[in-house]
Amino acid sequence: MTRFVCRPGGKLSGNIRVPGDKSISHRSIILSSIAEGISHISGFLQGEDSLNTIRAFEHLDVTIERDQDQVRVTGAGMHGLRKPETDLDMGNSGTAMRLLLGLLAGQVFDSRLIGDSSLSSRPMGRVIEPLQSMGAIIESEPGGRAPLQIRGTQGLKAIDYDMPVASAQVKSCLLLAGLYAQGTTVVHEPAPTRDHSERMLRGFGCDVYSDDSGISIKGNQSLMACDLEIPADISSAAFFMVAASIADNSDITLKHVGVNPTRTGVIEILELMGADIDLINPRNVSGEPVADIRVRCAGLKGIDIPLHLVPLAIDEFPVLFVAAACAQGTTRLSGAAELRVKESDRIQVMADGLVAMGIDAQAQADGIIIQGGEIAGGAVDSHGDHRIAMAFSVASLRARDDIHIDDCDNVNTSFPGFVKLAQAAGIRVSIDD
Which residues are known catalytic residues? 315
Give the Cα separation of 397 and 403 in Å (integer).
Answer: 10
Determine phi and psi for 430, rounding to 5 degrees.
-145, 165
Using DSSP, state whether 198 is helix, strand or coil: helix
Give the sign of the dihedral formed by CA 49, CA 380, CA 241, CA 317.
Answer: positive
Give the Cα separation of 393 and 296 in Å (integer).
Answer: 19
Question: Crossing angle of helices 196-203/22-33, nearest 10°?
Answer: 40
Cα radius of gyration rounded to whole Å, the chain: 21
Question: Residues 76, 61: contact at Cβ < 8 Å?
Answer: yes
Give 39's contacts (C-beta < 8 A, 6+ positions apart). 28, 32, 72, 73, 75, 225, 226, 227, 228
The DSSP line for 55-85 is HHHHHTT-EEEEETTEEEEE---TT-----S
10 Å CB burial of residue 258 (0-12, 13-18, 19+) is: buried
Q: Determine how many CB atoms are found less than 10 A away from the CB of residue 325.
A: 28
H-only helix segments in 105-217: 117-120, 125-133, 168-178, 196-203
Give the Cα separation of 363 and 267 in Å (integer).
Answer: 23
Determine phi and psi for 340, rounding to 5 degrees.
-80, -10
Q: Determine how many CB atoms are found less than 10 A away from the CB of residue 271.
A: 14
Give the Cα separation of 287 and 202 in Å (integer).
Answer: 9
The DSSP line for 262-301 is TTTHHHHHHHHTT-EEEEEEEEEETTEEEEEEEEE----B
Using DSSP, state whether 178 is helix, strand or coil: helix
Determine phi and psi for 399, rounding to 5 degrees.
-85, 155
Query: HSE (CB half, 13 Å, CA atoms) of 170?
Result: 24
